[in-house]
C-alpha cells in the first residue's frame, strides 16, 4: 500500500491523523506538491512528492503499489503523468470532500466523499498493523539506488537550497513558480503543514514574495524566506517598498540564472534548443543595488563558499533582505517525467 496525500489534508488540518494512519497500516506516504508538509519529510515512511519532478523512488513506489489510498488530491497531470500507466497494479481508494473530483481524472475502486480528518479518524478504528517486509525492502532499495542528486561542478542552485535548509530548517518557505519551486520542493525537507507555501495548479509567477510577506505578518517571530527565480521576483519586486515601510523582515533568496529557467529547460530538452523569449538578461540586473535603493539590505553571492555566511548574515538582519545568488545559468531540474510519459519513465540527468 501507498498513501498519496494532497493539499486537502493540509486544508483539513489532518496531518496528525495522516501520520497515525501511515504508522498503523504501516504504509509509505507520497504527497502532491500542495501536500508537502502533511508528514515530516524526515519521517522514515515519507517518500516526498511524486510527479513530474518527484524522486525516482517515490514515482516507482506508486507505479508498483497494489493499493493506493489517495486523500485530498485531484490527480493533476503533473502528479499522475500518463494516466494509462498511473498505478497500473493498484486498487484505488479516493477520499475527497469534493464529489466532483472523484473519478474525474482517475477511475477509482472505492470512492469516499468526506472531510479528510473525519474520514481518517473513522478508518483508524478498523485498521490493524501488518508488517510488509518485502515491500519495505524494495522501496528502501530504490531509495539507496536512486537518491536525489545533481552535478557538483560550478555554482548550482540546488546547493543554495541545501544550505538554506541547513541554516534555516524551521523557516517558513515560500516559492515562486518554475525551477526554483521544484528545487525547493526537492531539497528543502519540510517538517510541518504550511511550512511550505507555493502556487500549485495555477502556478502563478510572482506569488512567493507577497505570500512570504503575509506569512511574516502572521508569524512575526518566525524566519520567513522566499526562494525565487529572477524572472518571478521581478514580477512583484515593487513590494520591497511595502516591506521596508512596515519593516516586514522577509528574506528573498534569488536564484539568478538570467533565464525563465523552466521554459528554457523544456526548449532545450524537447524543442531542439530553439530558444525563444526565455533569456531575460537578468545578469545585467544588480538586485543588491535595487534592494538598497528601496531601503532594504542587499547581498550578492557569486560562489558556493559564500552561501552559508550570506544566509547567516541575512538571518541576523532585522529587516527585509534580498540575496542575489549568481547560479549556473543552465542548470536543469531532474528527475523529470517527460511530457506524455508515465511515472515509471522518469529520467535523471545521467539518463
Per-residue pLDDT of 182-197, as tens digits, reads 999 999 999 999 999 9
> Of 15, 74, 61, 24, which Cα lies nearest the Cα of 193?
15
Residues of the chain with CATH 3.40.50.1220: 2-145
pLDDT at 183: 99
Where in the chain do CATH 3.40.50.970 domains reside?
157-326
> What's residue 282's pLDDT?
61
Whose grid coordinates read 473525519? Answer: 118
- Start-to-end CA distance of the chain, whole Å, equals 29
Q: Cβ neighbours of residue 240 under 8 Å, at least 6 residues apart?
A: 290, 291, 294, 295, 296, 320, 322
**Segments in the chain below pLDDT 70:** 281-283
Single pTM value for the model: 0.96
Q: What's the angle, vertex CA 75, arms to CA 71 and CA 80, rounded to 5? A: 120
Q: What is the pLDDT of residue 284?
A: 76
Distance CA(166)–CA(160), nearest Å, equals 10
**Topology adopted by domain 157-326:** Rossmann fold (3.40.50)
Please give the Cα distance from 19 to 275 (Å, whole number). Answer: 45
> 2-145, which class in CATH?
alpha beta
**Please, is 89 exposed, middle or buried when counting C-beta atoms within 10 Å of its C-beta (0-12, 13-18, 19+)?**
exposed
Of 72, 1, 61, 76, whose CA–CA distance to 37 is shortest?
72
Amino acid at each position: 500500500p501507498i498513501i498519496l496525500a494532497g493539499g486537502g489534508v493540509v486544508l483539513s488540518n489532518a496531518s496528525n491523523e495522516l501520520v497515525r494512519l501511515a504508522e498503523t497500516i504501516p504504509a509509505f506516504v507520497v504527497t502532491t506538491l500542495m501536500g508537502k508538509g502533511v508528514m515530516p519529510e524526515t519521517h522514515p515512511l515519507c517518500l516526498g512528492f511524486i510527479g513530474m519532478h518527484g524522486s525516482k523512488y517515490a514515482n516507482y513506489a506508486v507505479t508498483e503499489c497494489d493499493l493506493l489510498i489517495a486523500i485530498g488530491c485531484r490527480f493533476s497531470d503533473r502528479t499522475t503523468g500518463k494516466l494509462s500507466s498511473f498505478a497500473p497494479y493498484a486498487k484505488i481508494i479516493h477520499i475527497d470532500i469534493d464529489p466532483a473530483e472523484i473519478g474525474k481524472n482517475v477511475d477509482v475502486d472505492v470512492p469516499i466523499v468526506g472531510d479528510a480528518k473525519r474520514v481518517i479518524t473513522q478508518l483508524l478504528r478498523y485498521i490493524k498493523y501488518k508488517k510488509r517486509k518485502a515491500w519495505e525492502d524494495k522501496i528502501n532499495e530504490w531509495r539507496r539506488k536512486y537518491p536525489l542528486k545533481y552535478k557538483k561542478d560550478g555554482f548550482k542552485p540546488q546547493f543554495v537550497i541545501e544550505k538554506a535548509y541547513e541554516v534555516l530548517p524551521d523557516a517558513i518557505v515560500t516559492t515562486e513558480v518554475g525551477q526554483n519551486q521544484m528545487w525547493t520542493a526537492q531539497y528543502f525537507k519540510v517538517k510541518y503543514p504550511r511550512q511550505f507555501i507555493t502556487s500549485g495548479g495555477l502556478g502563478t509567477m510572482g506569488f512567493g514574495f507577497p505570500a512570504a510577506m503575509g506569512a511574516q505578518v502572521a508569524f512575526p517571530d518566525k524566519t520567513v524566506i522566499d526562494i525565487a527565480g529572477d524572472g518571478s521576483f521581478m514580477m512583484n519586486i515593487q513590494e520591497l517598498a511595502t516591506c521596508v515601510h512596515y519593516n516586514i523582515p522577509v528574506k528573498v533568496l534569488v536564484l539568478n540564472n538570467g533565464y525563465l529557467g523552466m521554459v528554457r529547460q523544456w526548449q532545450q530538452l524537447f524543442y531542439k534548443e530553439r530558444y525563444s523569449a526565455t533569456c531575460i538578461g537578468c545578469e545585467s540586473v544588480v538586485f543588491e543595488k535595487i534592494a538598497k535603493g528601496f531601503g532594504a539590505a542587499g547581498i550578492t553571492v557569486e560562489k558556493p563558499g559564500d552561501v552559508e555566511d550570506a544566509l547567516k548574515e541575512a538571518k541576523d538582519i532585522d529587516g527585509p533582505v534580498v540575496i542575489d545568488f549568481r547560479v549556473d545559468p543552465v542548470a536543469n531540474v531532474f528527475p523529470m517525467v517527460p511530457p506524455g510519459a508515465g511515472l515509471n519513465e522518469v529520467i535523471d540527468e545521467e539518463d
